[in-house]
Chains A and B, each alone.
Chain A
Amino acid sequence: MTETLTSGGRSPRARRLFARPETGAAVAALVILVFFLAVAPAFRSADSFFTVLYQSSTIGVVATGVGLLMIGGEFDLSAGVMVTTAGLANSMFCWWFGIDLWVGALLSLALCLFIGFLNGYLVMRTGIPSFLITLGTFFVLQGANLGLTKVITGSVTAPDISRMDGYGFLGKIFASSFEVGGVTVWGTVLWWLAFTALAAWVLHRTRTGNWVFAVGGSADSARAVGVPVDRTKIGLFMAVSFLGWFAGMHTLYRFNTLQAGNGVGNEFLYIIAAVVGGTLLTGGYGNAIGVAIGAFIFGMTSLCIVYAGWDPNWFKAFLGVMLLLAVLVNLYVKGLATSAGPARKAEAP
């Protein structure tokens, strides 16, 4: 594990701080925040800030799971469309059979967990990289979303659920908002923070967390010292699908209806959030708070370009530059921690 740096030129405390995965992301977030506060007057209000937090939370909830999975050394490309699958399953099942929404929500949860399990099981069983397995799942789900929706409802839009039983209650759980001092706060923001806190706790305070780092660092040595590698990785895939399901429930209960083709492309946003947040693409390094900051950077950048009133045609280009800058600042800060000679050698395996 790269986190256990001890010796070096700087004071140990500063070194420890710089070596944490989220420090770089936090510095980058701060730089971007100050920059946009300077150039985008519309961003300087509590309302705007909470809109950014909402946007970050819709990415951040799933990114938390994707980040854990990446620390565990695997990818999930099916996470984006799984969010849509979750919503569609709930909505169409209840519409077709005329039953309560909460039954559909549980069924949808079971389905998502099953997909996550299958992803993990196939990866562990076949040894094929998760990139390929979940790419397959991605296509299957994308096609099934469209095909089944069309067969069941006769169109590519899921039916409106707002008049079905259970809508009010589930809506409160997944898609509620409340006012604090005249500012609208979405429940998803709180859920996002809660999931992040839980993930951080599991990673750093429990044995399971140690297993995650171990299987991501080197699965073979982890197995050799008795870590249940298969169980840990399958569990991580299922954690991603649980959070995907949660995000899907939010989208469904906020918008009442879903387009069957939605969600494509979001899998990369989750991965970007995790990487910007200091998670290594090679696994074994990262943490949940960093991923949350990564999601915040993404949410802030994508909306602040609008707050700044920049030419919308350049949207993606600005976004790309911002994200690259975030990663560079991240790297630079991490570099500060590892620049003094001995530490770098010490961390090499």
Chain B
Amino acid sequence: MIRTGKVMLAAVCALAVLTACSEGGRVKQPDEGEGGAGDNSGYTIAMITHETPGDSFWDTVRAGAEQAAKNTGIDLKYSNDPDAGKQAVLIQNAVDSRVDGIATTLVTPDALAGSVKAAADAGIPLVGLNAGIDDYQRLGAQMFFGSDETVAGTAAGERIAAEGAKHPLCVIHQAGSVSLEARCAGVASKLPGTENLQVNGADDAAVVSTLQAKLAQDDSIDYVVGLSAPIALDAIKALDASGSDAKLAAFDLNQATAQAIQDGSLEFAVDQQPYMQGFMAVTSLYLNLKNGNDLGGGEAVLTGPSFVDGDNIDQILPFVQNGTR
């Protein structure tokens, strides 16, 4: 067994050398220096999110937060847990370790209320980001940066309705997610004919065949709304396979969806600008600590919905490829 393994490894290495140089590989860039750091402010800020590991959306949030930390010379401590109870413990940890400021998503407000209050009691400024727009004030967060999912869904619905859609399909890839339901409800508020469909977001093949089944079952579906970038890409495959001429819209961006918008297989994406959510959360805490500022004067600062479509994709595509949009 072991010998076969060795021979195989040797063969693979030999092949690797022989067949080097393939299209579409990594673009090798010279190492960039650690430039761009501002003054070393000495503040420590904790960012705690409900990121489910493996979601490209949070990469972008984090990239924004890290850039802001670099700009302002902040020591950023990032942590995440999709489980509400564990996220609350992470916030409590940050309070206990006496950080200078906390940025947290408030996706499950009631579960996090205790920890958020502990931060207020300890005099640590706390801002909310991404989720919790209806509850951040009640919980005692000073500022909020994010998109209102219902507003975003409504905006998408408005746009789809203007294009003449009657019977859109809203694809929910995570059963029981409040924010995904809110987006679909927003779409439905403008288009009462909206129908929701539940798919298994962890299995692309299952997403495609489930969508194919739905499109076969109901040929009156004229628009598909995918609530994440990967789901939108699966939907392109399903639309192709089923021969349906329904159009497609997406929430959030990644490289491939940006490309699809340029190619025209995806009409538009609703962008809540996650980079800005991370960036503004850290920057605002910095300004609050250093200068006593509060952005929005207690009101939520909306980072979306911003539409990315054929008109502005050429400008935005490079930023997406850069991982900052």
Contact = CB atoms under 8 A, between A and B. Distances in A.
Nearest to A257: B256
A253 to B, nearest CB: 12
A146 B216 contact: no
A55 B5 contact: no
B60 to A, nearest CB: 8
B24 A303 contact: no
Contacts of B218: 42, 309
Nearest to B14: A103
Interface string A243-270: 0000000110011111111111110000
Contact of A146 (B26, B53, B234, B241): B53
B205 A254 contact: yes
Interface stretch (A126-134, A162-170, A204-212): A162-170
A312 interface: yes
Contacts of B19: 99-100, 103, 165
B77 to A, nearest CB: 17
B202 to A, nearest CB: 5
B198 interface: yes
Most buried by A among B15, B55, B202, B203: B203
A154 B198 CA distance: 30
B203 A259 contact: no
Nearest to B172: A312
Interface residues of B, number: 50
B16 interface: yes
Interface stretch (B126-134, B207-215, B289-297): B207-215
Interface string A86-114: 00000000111111110100110010001
Contacts of A193: none
Contact of B202 (A103, A107, A257, A266): A266
A165 B23 contact: yes
A135 B19 CA distance: 37
B164 interface: no
B75 interface: no
Interface in B207-260: 209-210, 212-214, 216-218, 230, 233-234, 237, 241, 254-256
A215 interface: no
Interface in B27-68: 52-56, 59
Given A117-B1, A164-B25, A265-B202, A259 B16 contact: no
B202 A255 contact: no
B162 interface: no
A156 interface: yes
B323 A264 contact: no
Interface stretch (A23-31, A46-54, A194-202): A46-54
Interface string B159-203: 000000000000010010000000000000000000011101011
A181 B139 CA distance: 62
Interface in A156-176: 156-157, 159-166
Contacts of A117: 1
A48 B23 contact: no
A260 B209 CA distance: 21
B178 to A, nearest CB: 14
A6 interface: no
Interface in A19-60: 40, 42, 45, 47-48, 51-52, 54-55, 58
A94 B256 CA distance: 19
A261 B55 contact: yes
Contacts of B12: 103, 106-107, 110
Contacts of A299: 209
A184 interface: yes
Given A98-B20, A259-B230, A303 B210 contact: yes
A10 interface: no
Interface in A293-318: 299, 302-304, 306-309, 312-313, 315-316
A155 interface: yes
A58 B205 contact: yes
A184 B24 CA distance: 29
B176 to A, nearest CB: 9
Contacts of A257: 233, 256
B267 interface: no
A184 B241 CA distance: 8
B210 to A, nearest CB: 6
B118 interface: no
Given A45-B216, A103-B19, A155-B56, 17 more contacts: A58-B203, A96-B26, A99-B21, A103-B12, A110-B8, A159-B26, A160-B255, A162-B24, A164-B23, A259-B204, A259-B230, A261-B202, A262-B54, A262-B202, A266-B203, A306-B210, A315-B175
In the A-B complex, the 3 residue pairs with the smallest Cβ-Cβ separation, listed nearest first, are A261-B54, A163-B24, A98-B25
26 contacts: A42-B213, A51-B212, A94-B22, A95-B26, A98-B25, A99-B15, A99-B19, A99-B25, A100-B15, A157-B254, A160-B256, A161-B24, A162-B24, A163-B24, A165-B19, A254-B237, A256-B256, A262-B202, A262-B204, A265-B203, A299-B209, A307-B213, A309-B218, A312-B197, A313-B198, A315-B175
